[in-house]
C-alpha cells in the first residue's frame, strides 16, 4: 500500500480512536433470512457470481515455472491450470478428449506432459494432444483438433483468474476495481506458498464471507485469540465497485501519535482485508498473506467449501522458520475453525429454524451491509430494508 494511503487511513483511525467512533453506515439494515436459506436465491448466485464471473484460483507463485500446475473442482467443472513452456498460464477443462478421464490430480511441478492415467493419451503444457498411445491400432484421430478444451485465464498482480465456462472472455478490470494501486505494492506473485487448508462447513457461503467483515465481534467471540491484538468495533471501510477494503487497526497503532508520519507503517499495525467480490478475502498481515476463498458446496444453501492459502515472503527453510509459520497458521486456523466458523454454523441452523424472518446489520457493520447489498444487486434481489 502506498505510504500516502497508509497515512490517510491512519489519520482516519486516529480520529476514530480520539472520538471513540468507527466508520458507520447511514442506517441499521435488515436482511431477510431467505438470503441464506433459499435454494432459488443460491441458484442465481451460483449462476451470476460464480459461473458467470472470473474466478481466482491461486497466486502466480503456486505455478511459477513451466510445467507447474494446479487443479480445482469447486466450480461445477474440473479445471486444470498450467504454466506453459512459453511462461503463459493457461486453464483447461481437466478432461481427456479420448473418453473423458481426468488428466491431472492435485497440484505439482515441472510436468513435461499430462499423461492421462486411463490409456496414456498425452497433452503438453499448452494443452495440445501430442501422443495417442497405440496409435496404429487405435486408428486415425486428428490430434490438432483434440487438445484439452481451453478456458480463458489471465494473471494480474500475481493473481490467477479463470473463466469457468469455455469461450468466455475474461475482463479483469471490474474484478480489480479500486485495488490495482494497493495490489501493485504487495508483490503477490513473488511470495511463496506455505500451505493450503481446505475445510467444509454447514453454512451458507455468504456467512463465511460475513465473518471477515466486521470487528464488532472481536472482543467477544475472539477474546481468547486475536481479540486482544486488535481494537474491537473500529474499522475503516472503503468500497470500490463491488470490492471493498477494510482496515482493522492493532492496538499498538496508538504509537503513531509519537512518531512522524514518515514512519507510520499501517501494514505493520493493522490487518488489512480486501474483499474481491464475491468470494475471495485477502488478509494482509505484517509478514504474510492469507487468502480465503469460499464456494457454495453440493448446490446446497447450507454447505460451503473454504480454502485458506497461506503465503510467506521467503521459502520456509530450516526448522525455526517452519515452526514460526506453523504457529502463525495455527493461530489463524484456531481463530477461524474454533470460533468464527462454528459460530457461522450456529447462525445457519438458527436461520433455518424459523425463529425470525430477518437479521439485523448495525451501522457499525458497514462492510457487511455493503457485501450483502452488492450480492443482492448482482442477482436482482430486493435490497436490504432500512426498517
Residues that bind ligand FES (CB under 6 A): 96, 98-101, 116, 118-121
- Binding track over 191-230 against Fe ion, x by CB under 5 A: --------------------x-------------------
What letter would DSSP give residue 145? Answer: G
Distance of alpha carbon 176 from alpha carbon 237, whole angstroms = 17
Instruction: Locate all alpha helices (DSSP H) within the chain, ordered by sequence.
Output: 3-19, 34-37, 39-45, 135-138, 180-184, 205-210, 218-221, 319-335, 341-352, 366-379
Instruction: Considering the complex, state which of residue 127 and residue 227 has its C-beta at the smaller distance from Fe ion.
Output: 227
Shortest reach from residue 150's CB to ligand FES, in Å: 17
99 binds, among ligand FES, Fe ion, none (CB under 5 to 8 A by kind): ligand FES
Instruction: Considering the complex, state which of residue 93 and residue 244 has its C-beta at the smaller distance from ligand FES.
Output: 93
Shortest reach from residue 101's CB to ligand FES, in Å: 4
Shortest reach from residue 245's CB to Fe ion, in Å: 17
Surface-to-core class of residue 188, CB atoms within 10 Å of its CB (0-12 exposed, 13-18 middle, 19+ buried): buried
Shortest reach from residue 132's CB to ligand FES, in Å: 8
Shortest reach from residue 97's CB to ligand FES, in Å: 8
Cα 43 to the center of its chain, rounded Å: 20
Give the residue nearest to Fe ion (CB): 340
340 binds, among ligand FES, Fe ion, none (CB under 5 to 8 A by kind): Fe ion
118 binds, among Fe ion, ligand FES, none (CB under 5 to 8 A by kind): ligand FES
Instruction: Considering the complex, state which of residue 118 and residue 325 has its C-beta at the smaller distance from ligand FES.
Output: 118
Among 210, 340, 365, 372, binds Fe ion (CB under 5 A): 340
Instruction: Considering the complex, state which of residue 302 and residue 340 has its C-beta at the smaller distance from Fe ion.
Output: 340
Candidates 28-36, 47-55, 334-342, 347-355; binding stretch for Fe ion (CB under 5 A)? 334-342
Cite the beta strand spans of the chain per DSSP E.
29-32, 55-59, 69-72, 79-83, 89-93, 107-108, 113-115, 122-124, 129-131, 150-151, 153-156, 159-162, 192-201, 236-240, 243-249, 270-276, 280-284, 289-296, 304-312, 358-361
96 binds, among ligand FES, Fe ion, none (CB under 5 to 8 A by kind): ligand FES
Three-state SS for 208?
helix
Instruction: Considering the complex, state which of residue 122 and residue 199 has its C-beta at the smaller distance from ligand FES.
Output: 122
Surface-to-core class of residue 2, CB atoms within 10 Å of its CB (0-12 exposed, 13-18 middle, 19+ buried): exposed
Nearest alpha carbon to residue 291 among 155, 163, 158, 110 = 158
101 binds, among Fe ion, ligand FES, none (CB under 5 to 8 A by kind): ligand FES
Distance of alpha carbon 285 from alpha carbon 270, whole angstroms = 7
Instruction: Considering the complex, state which of residue 146 and residue 324 has its C-beta at the smaller distance from ligand FES.
Output: 146
Instruction: Considering the complex, state which of residue 121 and residue 205 has its C-beta at the smaller distance from ligand FES.
Output: 121
Which residues on neighbouring strands pair with residue 193, listed in sequence order?
311
Question: Which residue ranges make up the site for Fe ion (CB under 5 A)?
Answer: 211, 340
Amino acid at each position: 500500500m502506498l505510504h500516502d494511503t497508509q497515512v490517510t487511513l491512519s489519520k482516519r483511525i486516529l480520529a476514530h480512536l480520539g472520538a471513540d467512533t468507527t466508520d458507520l453506515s447511514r442506517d441499521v439494515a435488515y436482511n431477510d433470512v431467505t438470503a441464506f436459506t433459499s435454494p432459488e436465491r443460491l441458484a442465481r448466485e451460483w449462476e451470476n457470481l460464480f459461473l458467470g464471473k472470473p474466478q481466482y484460483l491461486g497466486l502466480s507463485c503456486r505455478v511459477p515455472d513451466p510445467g507447474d500446475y494446479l487443479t480445482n473442482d469447486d466450480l461445477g467443472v474440473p479445471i486444470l491450470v498450467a504454466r506453459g513452456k512459453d511462461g503463459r498460464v493457461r486453464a483447461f477443462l481437466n478432461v481427456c478428449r479420448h473418453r473423458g478421464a481426468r488428466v491431472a490430480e492435485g497440484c505439482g511441478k515441472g510436468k513435461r506432459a499430462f499423461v492421462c492415467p486411463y490409456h496414456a493419451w498425452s497433452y503438453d503444457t499448452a494443452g495440445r494432444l501430442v501422443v495417442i498411445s497405440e496409435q496404429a491400432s487405435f486408428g486415425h484421430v486428428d490430434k490438432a483438433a483434440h487438445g484439452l478444451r481451453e478456458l480463458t485465464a489471465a494473471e494480474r498482480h500475481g493473481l490467477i483468474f479463470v473463466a469457468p465456462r469455455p469461450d468466455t472472455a475474461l475482463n479483469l478490470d471490474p474484478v480489480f476495481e479500486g485495488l490495482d494501486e494497493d495490489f501493485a505494492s504487495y508483490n503477490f506473485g513473488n511470495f511463496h506458498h506455505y500451505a493450503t487448508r481446505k475445510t467444509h462447513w454447514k453454512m451458507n457461503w455468504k456467512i463465511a464471507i460475513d465473518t471477515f467483515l466486521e470487528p464488532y465481534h472481536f472482543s467477544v467471540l475472539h477474546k481468547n485469540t486475536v481479540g486482544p491484538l486488535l481494537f474491537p468495533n473500529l474499522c475503516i471501510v472503503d468500497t470500490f465497485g463491488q470490492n471493498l477494503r477494510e482496515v482493522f487497526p492493532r492496538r499498538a497503532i496508538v504509537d503513531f501519535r509519537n512518531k512522524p508520519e514518515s514512519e507510520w507503517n499501517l501494514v505493520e499495525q493493522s490487518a488489512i482485508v480486501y474483499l474481491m467480490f464475491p468470494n475471495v478475502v485477502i488478509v494482509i498481515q505484517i509478514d504474510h498473506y492469507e487468502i480465503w476463498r469460499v464456494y457454495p458446496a453440493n448446490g446446497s444453501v447450507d454447505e460451503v467449501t473454504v480454502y485458506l492459502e497461506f503465503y510467506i515472503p521467503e521459502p520456509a527453510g530450516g526448522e525455526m522458520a517452519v515452526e514460526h509459520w506453523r504457529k502463525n497458521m495455527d493461530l489463524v486456523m484456531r481463530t477461524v475453525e474454533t470460533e468464527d466458523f462454528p459460530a457461522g454454523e450456529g447462525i445457519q441452523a438458527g436461520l433455518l429454524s424459523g425463529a425470525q424472518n430477518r437479521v439485523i446489520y448495525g451501522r457499525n457493520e458497514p462492510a457487511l451491509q455493503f457485501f450483502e447489498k452488492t450480492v443482492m444487486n448482482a442477482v436482482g434481489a430486493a435490497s436490504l430494508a432500512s426498517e
